[in-house]
Amino acid sequence: MRLTNQTALALQVPAGRDKVVVFDDDLPGFGVSVSQGGSRAWVVQYRNALGQSKRETLGKVGVLTAADARRAAGERLARAKLGEDPHAEKAKAKARAAITLGAVVDPYLEAAEPNMRPAYHAEATRYLRTVWKPLHKVPLHTVDRQKISDRLAEIRRETGPHAANRARSALSAHFAWLVGTGKAELNPVMGVPKPAPEVRRARVLSEDEIARVLKACRDDDFGRIVRLLLLTGQRRDEVAEMMWPELNLAGALWSLPGARVKNGLDHDVPLSAPALQILSTMQDIEGQAFVFGQGGNGFQGFSKAKAALDKRSGVTGWRLHDLRRTAATLMTDRLKVLPHVVEAVLNHISGHKAGVAGIYNRAVYATEKREALDALGGFVTSLNPVLQVAATDPEPPLAKPKKRRTATGLAHPTKRRRVQA
């Protein structure tokens, strides 16, 4: 019998049997399976290179035409004669399809965590788990340049070019690990252009802009963070996530552990009198290690608070990280601090501090760092009369014992005010 749409529909299962398979006379191995319940499916049967008999379902009768089923069967039979195993390849393809992009995110984050700074790991986690979530259900082997490029365009529209560039970098690092561990054959991010060119920022606030920004800072967490960024020259998250155990208030020293800084090296930051004056307004919350913010993550809400500050000061087109560059420029150009001392203040390991010398020079530069930051504090004070008290007070208030308060109430009638945008 030659199997056609009509003959397949006319077949009946003999009494006493649950199923019957009828093969085509013209194409051996091509057949139709009919069950007692009436379901009908096109099948193909062949022997693989090991001589094992394999039967594969091609599709349902009525959904797949006889002509298309015959063509598919012929293709599989031809491959079997060449020594291939279409059934095994189908099972392999099904297994590959079950491995999605989302399924390999957490294994990567777990493997990468020991080699990443906490801040970088947190950023990679956010991008891979949240920003790339629309592709989580896509089979890993089908994530291609087109899908990545389309998603990056969406990210750029939603959160801007900088975030899109960071999202691209996070996914590329993820795929590099997948290739290295054999979970992926290639990195599809390679060849996908960055959503926006990386522009090296060179924004330095003028003295007038500094004065206006400082004057516009409120007596809240965000205002204190902004002033400390300029007075210490440290990074935004390092200041915003400052912890009480890191502070030696009597010794006017802030000791950053390597786990919290970009280069992984412990870093001591001398605190000038104006910096101490700012910190003296804080209250140590019982059971909370962070100096700023509420809860256990340090300060949050930068975007809203920064936008409000720009509106009050009239100074726009700058980022909080520009205060670090501004502090370095003031020390170098205005206060004539030697370059290697500025690098020591910034905790850079390039230039004069590169290599082993940077480690051994840490203690040597302690005095120079303090002198540089004291000079910076004095200069910033001259631009902002609000800090004049700190510059003239011979005994900074933080040298005295701090009042403490619990998470639910104060041990002192003066309450700490929270950030208001």
% pLDDT > 70, the chain: 82
Whether residue 62 has pLDDT greater than 80 = yes
Which has the minimum average pLDDT: 80-84, 206-210, 360-364? 360-364
In degrees to the nearest 10, what's the CA dihedral of 10, 11, 17, 19?
-110
Residue ranges per structural domain of the chain: 5-95, 102-180, 207-405
Residue 410's pLDDT band, with cuts at 50, 70 and 90, is very low
The pLDDT, as a whole number, for residue 276 is: 95
Between 188-202, 333-347, 372-386, the lowest mean confidence (pLDDT) is in 188-202
What local confidence, expressed as pLDDT, does residue 294 receive?
A: 75
Q: What is the pLDDT of residue 396?
A: 44
The 3-state secondary structure of 30-99, one letter per residue: EEEEEECCCCEEEEEEEECCCCCEEEEEEEEECCECHHHHHHHHHHHHHHHHCCCCHHHHHHHHHHHHHC
For residues 250 and 271, is the Cβ–Cβ distance under 8 A?
no
Phi, psi of 99 (to 5 degrees): -90, 105
pLDDT at 55 over 90: no
Which among 43-52, 265-274, 363-372 has the top mean pLDDT? 265-274
Whole-number percent of the chain with pLDDT over 90: 59
Residue 396 · residue 272 · CB < 8 Å: no
> Which region among 145-154, 171-180, 314-323, 408-417 has the lowest average model confidence (pLDDT)?
408-417
Average pLDDT over residues 160-184: 93
More confident residue, 323 or 54: 323
Is pLDDT above 70 for 136? yes
- Confidence (pLDDT) at 394: 40
Domain 207-405, CATH 1.10.443.10 — does that match? yes
Structure-token match 């970009």, residue found: 262
pLDDT at 181: 93
**What Å distances lie between residue 392 and 17, 214, 344, CA to CA?**
103, 18, 27
pLDDT given for residue 243 in this prediction:
92
**SS3 of 290, please?**
strand
pLDDT band (50, 70, 90) for residue 95? low
Mean pLDDT of 214-231: 95
Cβ neighbours, 10 Å, residue 81:
11
CA distances from 315 to 104, 107, 309, 319, 409 (A): 44, 44, 8, 11, 37
Residues with Cβ within 8 Å of residue 77, at least 6 apart in sequence: 27, 29, 30, 44, 46
Q: Give φ, ψ of 282 to 5 degrees.
A: -85, 155
What is the CB-side half-sphere exposure of residue 16 using CA atoms within 13 A? 0
Q: According to the model, what pLDDT value does residue 88 have?
A: 61
The per-residue pLDDT for 91 is: 62
Which residues sit opposite 140 in a β-bridge? none
Per the model's pLDDT, the better-predicted residue between 295 and 157 turns out to be 157
Residue 357 pLDDT exceeds 90: no
- The architecture (CATH level 2) of 5-95 comes to 2-Layer Sandwich (3.30)
State the pLDDT at residue 54: 86
Placement of tokens 């009436």 in the chain: 38
DSSP 249: T
Token pair 């915003």: residue: 240
- Across the range 84-111, mean pLDDT stands at 80
pLDDT band at residue 193, thresholds of 50, 70 and 90? very high
* Candidate from 68-77, 205-214, 340-349, 406-415 with smallest mean pLDDT: 406-415
pTM: 0.57
Residue with tokens 């400390």: 228
Residue 415: what pLDDT? 39
